[in-house]
Amino acid sequence: MKSDIEKLEELKKLVIKLVSSKNKFIKLSDKRLSMRQQGSTKKSIETAECNLNWHAMEHDKLFRETHAASVDCGLSIAKDDYSEIEYNTSQFHRYNYKPRIPLCRQKA
């Protein structure tokens, strides 16, 4: 079992990744918006939107992982539902993700 310090160090790393991810999300969003305003080709706009959607999925997964680590540290309240999530990153791609369940919600 992890010590409190190890749990906090893990949370710290996840928060740093989350901040970096959010900054990247903002940059991708601004890029997509500028492409629309500049009249870029339809294909390049679709590619930018696909990249943004993919990164949004990754950011959400990281957010959920950070929340679970925060609950393990006693800094957040556990949610009632940690069921599987479906992400639709494009018209053709669907991904299922099962979030990590905090230790207090795991069955013994």
Query: Which tens digits make up the pLDDT trace of 59-94?
Result: 999 999 999 999 999 999 999 899 999 998 877 889
Q: Read off the tokens for 12.
A: 């710290």
Q: Read off the tokens for 1.
A: 């079992």
Q: Read off the tokens for 8.
A: 């906090």
pLDDT for res 40: 85
d(CA 43, CA 49): 10
pLDDT digits 0-9 by tens, 30-54: 988 898 888 888 888 888 888 999 9
Tally of CB atoms within 10 A around 19: 10
d(CA 73, CA 105): 13
Amino acid at 12: K
